[in-house]
Amino acid sequence: MKVLQYQATSSMTLKTFLYDKGISKKSLSAIKQNGALLVNKKHATVRKEIHEGDEIDVHLPNELPSHNLEPFTFDLNILFEDEWFIIVSKPAMMNTAPSREHPHYSLVEAVLSHMIMNGERTIPHIVTRLDRGTSGIVIFAKHQLLHHMVSNTTISKYYVARVHGAVEPKKGVIKAPIARAKHSIIEREVSEEGKFAHTEYEYLDGDSENSMLKLQLFTGRTHQIRVHLAHIGYPIIGDSLYGFEDGQYEHQLLQCNHIEFIHPITLKQLHIVDEMHYNLSGVGMI
C-alpha cells in the first residue's frame, strides 16, 4: 500500500489539510473506505483537529486493473520512475491505450506488466498520451489519486517534427480552433466552431525540401500539431491523414522529446528528455 506522508504546519481539521494537499472529496472517500488516515501513527477521522508538527500518513487503497487490459512483457525505455510515476518513451506504431482496431499490446498494458513484476499493488493511469504514429514521452501515474493531483499541474510539452517544405517564418505562433471534421470520426480540422488551440514552433534545421521544427503545445487538442502544421501549409512528413503518403515512412515524423512539470509529492521540478531520434542532415527520423 502506498503511503503519503506530511507534517502539519498549522491547526485545522484533517479534512481541510488533505483538501489543501490536492486530495479530492472522491479520493478521500476511497481512502476512508479502503485505505487509512493516521495522525502521529494513530488512526484518525477527517474531523480530527491537527496542529503544527503533527505527522499525517495517508494510506492509499490498492487498485485492481481492468479485465480488458492484458499485461505483456515489453522492453520499456524508462526515462524516470519513482513510487508515484513512471515516464517512458513510446515507440511509433504502438498505441498508448487499447483501441477497437488495436485492442492489446498497448503501452499501458506493457507498463502494467512492469508494475506487476515489481510487486506494485496499484495500476498505471495515463497522464499524457500520444497518437499511435507519434513517438516519445508518455507519463503514467501509479495511482488514481496521483493522476488527479498531477492533472492540476502545468505540464510543459515540447516536440520535434520534420515537415514538408522550407518553413517561413522561422518562428511562429499558431492559434487556430480545432474541431472534429464533419466527414470523419477520426480526422480533425481548423474550424471556427472548434475549441481554442495554441501551438508555437521554431525552425531547427532543413533545406529547400523539408524542415526540422521544435514545437511547444499550450493546449492539448486531438492531433493538434498535425492539424496546425498542415493548416499553415507544412504537413508532417509521413502523415497521410493530414498530408500525403510519400512511401518512405509508415507514420508521421513527430516526437515528444521533452517535458517539464513539478512533481506533486516531492515538489521538485522534473525535466525529462528523450533522445531525439532524427537526423539533422535531412535524412529524417530513424
Q: Which residues are catalytic?
A: 131
**Quick one: which of 211, 176, 167 has its CA closest to 195?**
176
Assigned C-alpha cell, 252: 508521421
Q: How many C-beta neighbours within 10 Å does residue 265 have? A: 18
What residues have CB less than 8 Å from 274, skipping those under 6 apart?
77, 79, 89, 136, 137, 255, 256, 257, 258
Which sign, positive or negative, has the C-alpha torsion 113, 118, 120, 126? negative
CA gap 37, 267 in Å, rounded? 22
Q: Which residues pair with 189 in a beta bridge?
A: 179
CA gap 76, 267 in Å, rounded? 26
In this structure, which amino acid lies at residue 106? Answer: S
What residues have CB less than 8 Å from 52, skipping those under 6 apart?
8, 9, 10, 11
